[in-house]
Chain A
Amino acid sequence: MENMKLLAEWSYEPTKAHRGYTGKTLKINVGERTFEAKDVTEDMKEKFVGGRGFGLKLLWDAVKDTTKWNDPENEIVISGGPLCGITQYPGTGKFYAVFISPLTEQTYDSNAGGHFGPLLKFAGWDALEIQGKSDKDVVVVIDGDEGKVKIFESPFEDINAYSITETLHEYFSDPNDINDRKHVSVITAGKGAEHTYWGCLNSSFWDSHRKIARLKQAGRGGGGTVFRDKKIAALVVKTHNLSGTANDPADIDTLTKVGLKLHKEIFTLDSKQCRMRTVGTPHLNEIMNEYHILPVHNYKFGQHPDADKIHSEVYGKLFTQGIADGCWYGCTLACAKAVDNYTIKTGPCKGQVVTVDGPEYETAAGLGSNVGVFDPEWTIETNFYADHYGLDTISLGTGIAFVCECYELGYITKEHTNGLELKFGNKDDILELIHRMAEGKDEFAKIVGLGIHRMKDIFAEKFGAPRDILEKIGMEGQGIEVSEYVPKESIAQWGGYFLTLKGPQHDEAWLIFMDRVNKQLPTFEDKAEALHYFPNFRTWFSLVGLCKLPWNDIEPADNATKYPPQEAAKVPEHVQNYVDIFNAVTGKNITKEELILQSERVYNFQRVFQLRLGKGTRKYHNIPDRALGPVFPDEWEARAEYYDNELKEAGVNPEELSTEEKIKKLNEIRRQQWEELVDAVYKRRGWDRNGIPTVETLKRLGIDYPDVVAVVEKHAKPEDRW
């Protein structure tokens, strides 16, 4: 590669991490080409901890109430957190990206593995703010070895992820030592991110076994779209400050001891439990199908007779086995599976032999069963292009599933799609649509790339599709597509998806088993308690820089017998591990209750932030009919006995009703249940009837900063108090 043209440069003195923090954050304005270092205050550490918490705090200070996703002051804030980069415990390489989302027009946080988060910290920074909009494509480089930040003019004509990532690893490392590429990590997006609202951020790591750069994704929310709107082709970090003690932990002995305990558990039990080391998250494929949770044909159904074709054993044979597939050092859960030596069959990379990261469960279901395709090779190819183009595979899968259903209902035709027959299972045309979305020229592909929320408007207003049906079957909330689990049989999971801070993804609560299968949450108060505890517990991972999977995709041998069932679901021994490693790194002395409190502060702060941006009230906690139950007769008939029983339990005799009448009746019942759930959850969270945290809640949490209280007081109404 030719030398890149330097546009701006700034020097700094890299600060080594101490007790998990460097104490410094970096702000880069790519439009003005300015740089700024800020100190991390003790209050910031106390109240916001790190990661997503730091991201939200820095973004809060950077934007106005009226800021839109494509305004220059919108930022992408990237931060790992105090535990990010430790190597003694599995799943410790995550960063969290925070930004105002093009899809939801409010704050979003999305996470990725790979090496970027740890290397950013070890290059001297607890967080990175990227603000402004460049007038030309740039490559931004943070060099922790030289203590320099540089902005180069991008030399790349093709900015898609696989076209530039490896080149940049090579360019910024020792040309005589291929292993030196591990000291570099690159974030990219791609043309798909540029031309749609579904842009993801690809975060690279050097795979020293395969000798290639691989990609993990902060997939959700459109962070890649913001990245490309700022005309950033790539963000590079480089440092040789890389060791198992680079965080300078307070108590390395405890950290090592707790880590070893979990490593032993994984080596002993994973093969009998989730098999993460051999098949990764696709271990869920057949399980979701058995329990009617696998999304099929835009969530119409939860099962399909061809599901055995996407069985985890099929994927297990396609994944290369015997290689340590951790995406950060020390992760023995090693679920970053990959397909090697795959020959691309379509599109601009046709004929190339590549390694494809994944697919993970969400991709296997979204770009599989949900669009009616049960062909793993097609899903692998589509996964490759989604990453290459910088597209979120979840929104892509759910969004195209919606398009396919609209096509089959006759709401859109080949005239609208410019010749594509977008029926479920028509894999060639679906993949062609994805290529067109990345290319950014086809008008229909551009509409699809705006997401379901906007597609509903356009299909109704321009194509004459019936608005009421689109609202029922469009699986989105707050502007973003639902992730890949059928929620219609679990009241608690309605909340797990649709009573969330940023829309229906599965990072807050997954309660289908607890609620529907185990029947452990019989009352609305029980469900509300789960929808308080689990979102807050899971938020904590995003504050400290951890992956959630080692929490409950492996459990101690005696977890199920040592604790009563309700408690066992929390995996208490692993919760204690997290308390112990937090204290061992930071030197603090928190309890498991304070761990929840740390999360609750940030959770409520983010809720107020959404309010500040004009969202964050009850009307944005909406749920489509299909998430509540069947919309069409064939959905009902596929599970007739189950749904008839639901009516009987509600005191309705189904034998007196037609299928259409049954659907209408059940929907009425479930709408009522939904409203009861919303009330119960808001009460438990300390919010008013309109979903706004009360000033008392802010005070209890210690986040009653004047500007935060002012937002609440501006919007809260006396009649909404309980």
Chain B
Amino acid sequence: MEWEVGLTVKDIITRKKYTFPLLAVWINDSPVPRDDFNSTKVPDGAKVQIIHMISGG
């Protein structure tokens, strides 16, 4: 994914069409709280991990 100035975690999730609510995000091996997805900026060249938890019976 192309980086751009101001890119947030939420932007990446939207572009990847990740609609599942139970996501875990790690930037450069540091976790990002879900409540901070909108405000957390992603640095250029960062290692971003987006993990889907499991749900369903």
Contact = CB atoms under 8 A, between A and B. Distances in A.
A513 B24 contact: no
A363 B32 CA distance: 35
Interface string A281-296: 1001011001100000
A677 B55 CA distance: 24
A410 to B, nearest CB: 36
A568 B21 CA distance: 15
Given A272-B21, A290-B19, A518-B51, A560 B31 contact: yes
A259 to B, nearest CB: 20
A568 B52 CA distance: 10
B33 A561 contact: yes
A150 B32 CA distance: 60
B49 A565 contact: yes
Given A287-B20, A520-B51, A568-B51, A506 B56 contact: yes
A571 B54 CA distance: 9
Contacts of B32: 561
A59 B2 CA distance: 60
B19 A555 contact: no
A708 interface: no
A284 B17 contact: no
Contacts, number: 77
Interface in A273-331: 273-274, 281, 284, 286-287, 290-291
Interface in A511-562: 511, 513-514, 517-518, 520, 547-549, 552-553, 555, 557-562
B53 A568 contact: yes
Nearest to A566: B51
Name the residue in B17, B21, B33, B56 with the highest tally of chain A Cβ atoms < 10 Å from its Cβ. Answer: B56
Contacts of B56: 281, 284, 361, 506, 510, 552-553
Nearest to B25: A560
A513 B54 contact: yes
A274 B57 CA distance: 12
B34 interface: yes
Given A560-B34, A561-B31, A565-B26, A510 B54 contact: yes
B53 A569 contact: yes
A507 B26 CA distance: 29
B46 interface: no
Contacts of A560: 22-25, 31, 33-34, 51, 53
Band of interface residues on A: 35 or more
Nearest to B33: A561
Nearest to A565: B51
A273 B24 contact: no
Interface string B15-55: 00101111111100001111000000000000001011111
Nearest to B21: A273
Contacts of B34: 272, 557, 560
A544 to B, nearest CB: 16
A507 B56 CA distance: 9
A547 B57 CA distance: 8
Interface in A170-207: none
A511 B34 CA distance: 22
B55 A553 contact: yes
B57 A568 contact: no
A529 to B, nearest CB: 15
A506 B56 CA distance: 9
B24 A565 contact: yes
A520 B54 CA distance: 12
Interface in A498-513: 506-507, 510-511, 513
A573 to B, nearest CB: 13
A493 to B, nearest CB: 11
Nearest to A288: B56
Contacts of A510: 54, 56
Contact of B54 (A287, A547, A552, A561): A552
Interface string A214-256: 0000000000000000000000000000000000000000000
Given A560-B24, A561-B32, A565-B24, A287 B53 contact: no
Contacts of B22: 273-274, 555, 560
Nearest to A507: B57
A549 B49 CA distance: 26
Contact of B17 (A290, A518, A520, A547): A290
A312 to B, nearest CB: 11
B4 to A, nearest CB: 24
Nearest to B49: A565
A239 B54 CA distance: 38
A274 to B, nearest CB: 6
A291 B20 contact: yes
28 contacts: A273-B21, A274-B22, A274-B55, A284-B55, A287-B19, A290-B19, A510-B54, A510-B56, A511-B54, A513-B52, A513-B53, A513-B54, A514-B52, A518-B51, A518-B52, A552-B53, A552-B56, A553-B55, A560-B23, A560-B24, A560-B53, A561-B24, A561-B32, A562-B31, A565-B49, A565-B51, A569-B51, A569-B53
Interface of A: 272-274, 281, 284, 286-287, 290-291, 361, 506-507, 510-511, 513-514, 517-518, 520, 547-549, 552-553, 555, 557-562, 565, 568-569, 571
The 4 A-B pairs of least Cβ separation, nearest first, read A560-B24, A561-B31, A513-B52, A565-B51
